[in-house]
């Protein structure tokens, strides 16, 4: 039985200012390996799943280090190829109080962004796959990446593999080239079974405004998505209210064709690192989906993992099933 979860996207190196410093305040940076799809893969690997990554990195110390970091997270990297170009980077200054976090990207011309669909062996990479997960960051990187994302999606559908897609809309990336994000994303979402996206993502592809104000209006947006995309079976999203950089209120929602579930708000305080929280949510939802969970189970598991991720430095969730159970149990004393 196919049970492998496969992920296609760019691996990035993250360079973070120490503590809550500004970038370049002191002559040191902390390094983490990240990337939207890799973060979901690592999160699910820590929940006990067989996960594999498809990507392209340069054949140098940075590329090899990125592979080692993802492999160290429990993810098979046999289908990460080496190519020309450079390693994608981004720089982070972690906010505090009334100062927001700040990210500076340096990823143009990376090995992944300049790779072609033909550089990947889709037959081998998708052998035994139950699911392929992509994000909207990949097609936003440029025309070759857009072609590769579409090729990956078509390869999955041709093999009967469930397709999961996180909208992750990045206007600056789309605007950097002669792109047509609505057309490309509409084609991708037309093949998708599981969509991580909210009313704004649906507004973009459907060309009509939706409000996220209240459960009824969020359901209205989901129903429009289901009507427009017959393949689509599940839509998952979070809503975040930022009180300060260290205090957010977060809720989760999962819509199915037959109904849905929206969680209560959870106060997340003492935030250590919010980067990758959306990827942790995706990992939690997909974990519950693989276990046959209903809309409530998927929303609440995703919410638990995204809340926990805020306590952990780095891009990826590294929590197990016992950590989710402890979170849901509400115990905050030292676990001995």
Say if CB 224 and CB 206 are below 8 A apart: yes
Cα–Cα distance, 133 to 194 (Å, whole number): 9
Q: Which of 232, 106, 126 is nearest to 173 (CA)?
A: 106
- Is 294 marked active-site? no
In contact, 310 and 273? CB cutoff 8 Å: yes
Catalytic site residue from 166, 279, 315, 323:
279
Largest CA distance in the chain: 56
Instruction: Look up residue 270 and give its DSSP letter.
Output: S
Q: How far apart are CA 296 and CA 258, in angstroms?
A: 13
What is the rounded distance in angstroms from the CA atom of residue 325 to the CA atom of residue 313? Answer: 21
Which three-class secondary structure state does DSSP give residue 180?
A: coil
**Which residues carry out catalysis?**
279
């Amino acid at each position: 039985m196919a049970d492998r979860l496969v992920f296609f996207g760019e691996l990035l190196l993250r360079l973070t200012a120490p503590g809550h410093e500004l970038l370049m305040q002191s002559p040191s940076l902390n390094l983490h390996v990240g990337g939207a799809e890799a973060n979901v893969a690592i999160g699910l690997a820590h929940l006990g799943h067989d996960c594999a990554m498809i990507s392209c990195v340069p054949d140098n110390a940075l590329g090899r280090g990125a592979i080692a970091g993802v492999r160290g997270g429990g993810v098979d990297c046999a289908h990460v190829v080496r190519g020309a170009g450079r390693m994608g980077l981004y720089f982070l200054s972690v906010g505090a109080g009334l100062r927001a976090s700040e990210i500076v990207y340096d990823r143009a011309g990376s090995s992944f962004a300049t790779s072609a669909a033909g550089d990947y062996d889709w037959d081998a990479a998708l052998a035994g796959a139950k699911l392929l997960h992509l994000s909207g960051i990949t097609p936003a990187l440029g025309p070759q990446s857009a072609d590769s994302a579409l090729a990956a999606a078509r390869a999955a559908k041709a093999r009967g593999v469930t397709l999961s897609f996180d909208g992750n809309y990045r206007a600056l990336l789309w605007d950097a080239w002669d792109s047509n994000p609505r057309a490309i994303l509409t084609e991708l979402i037309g093949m998708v079974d599981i969509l991580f996206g909210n009313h704004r993502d649906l507004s973009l592809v459907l060309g009509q405004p939706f409000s996220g104000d209240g459960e009824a209006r969020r359901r209205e947006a989901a129903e429009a998505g289901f009507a427009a995309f017959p393949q689509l079976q599940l839509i998952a999203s979070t809503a975040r209210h930022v009180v300060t950089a260290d205090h957010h209120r977060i809720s989760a929602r999962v819509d199915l064709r037959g109904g849905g579930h929206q969680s209560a708000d959870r106060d997340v305080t003492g935030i250590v690192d919010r980067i990758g929280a959306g990827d942790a949510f995706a990992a939690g939802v997909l974990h519950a989906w693989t276990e046959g969970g209903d809309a409530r189970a998927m929303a609440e598991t995703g919410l638990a993992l995204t809340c926990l991720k805020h306590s952990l430095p780095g891009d990826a969730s590294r929590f197990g099933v016992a950590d989710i159970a402890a979170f849901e149990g509400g115990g905050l004393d030292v676990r001995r």
